[in-house]
């Protein structure tokens, strides 16, 4: 029976503004449902630059959904996502945040990517080898060049 990923830090005191301000990826109050099935329930997550994070859980628990939401392939029902300080699905306005369209989200998510796990894509390559290759292929983007340099200098593969 699938379980759901639930936030362990949805306490506003624990999820401080300073932590999210330093995060490369910041998710606040992320909720996503498919029909009546709540997959993500008020998730708070901060990932710092060069930090390695493992998302573990049983099949159907929301691991892929949280990754897809983090890179903008899935729009959450509630909550905010920031990538390098810029909101993915919202824009700042004088009276707070306003929903943003797909065009804005596409621009923000140009700086991120995902290498999906599929054993038969390149059986002779590992993720540590493919990530810099993907970043170099997008080297016209400043964010991609920065990402490529980061991977090239990492001491251990992801």
Q: What is the pLDDT of residues 47-87, one digit of tens each?
A: 998 888 888 889 888 999 999 999 999 999 999 999 999 99
Token digits of residue 83: 């990538």
pLDDT-derived band of residue 113, with 50, 70 and 90 as boundaries? confident
Distance CA 7, CA 133 (A): 34
| CB-CB contact of 75 with 27 (8 Å) | no
Which strand (E) or helix (H) includes residue 17? helix 17-22
Quote the pTM value: 0.65
The tokens for 88 are: 């993915």
Higher pLDDT, 60 or 119: 60
In the chain, what are the domains? 5-111 (3.40.50.300), 115-158 (no CATH)
Q: Kindly tell me if the per-residue pLDDT of 125 is higher than 50.
A: yes
């Amino acid at each position: 029976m699938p379980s759901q990923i639930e936030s362990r830090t949805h306490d506003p005191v624990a999820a401080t503004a300073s932590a999210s301000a330093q995060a490369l990826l910041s998710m606040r109050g992320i909720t996503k449902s498919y029909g009546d099935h709540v997959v993500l329930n008020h998730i708070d997550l901060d990932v710092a630059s060069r930090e390695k994070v493992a998302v573990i859980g049983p099949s159907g628990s929301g691991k892929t959904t949280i990754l897809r939401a983090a890179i903008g392939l899935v729009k959450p029902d509630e909550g905010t996502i920031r990538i390098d300080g810029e909101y993915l699905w919202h824009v700042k306005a004088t009276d707070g945040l306003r929903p943003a369209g797909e065009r804005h989200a596409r621009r923000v998510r140009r700086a991120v990517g995902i290498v999906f796990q599929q054993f038969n894509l390149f059986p002779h390559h590992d993720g540590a080898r493919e990530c810099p290759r993907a970043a170099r292929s997008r080297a016209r983007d400043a964010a991609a060049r920065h990402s490529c340099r980061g991977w090239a200098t990492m001491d251990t593969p992801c």
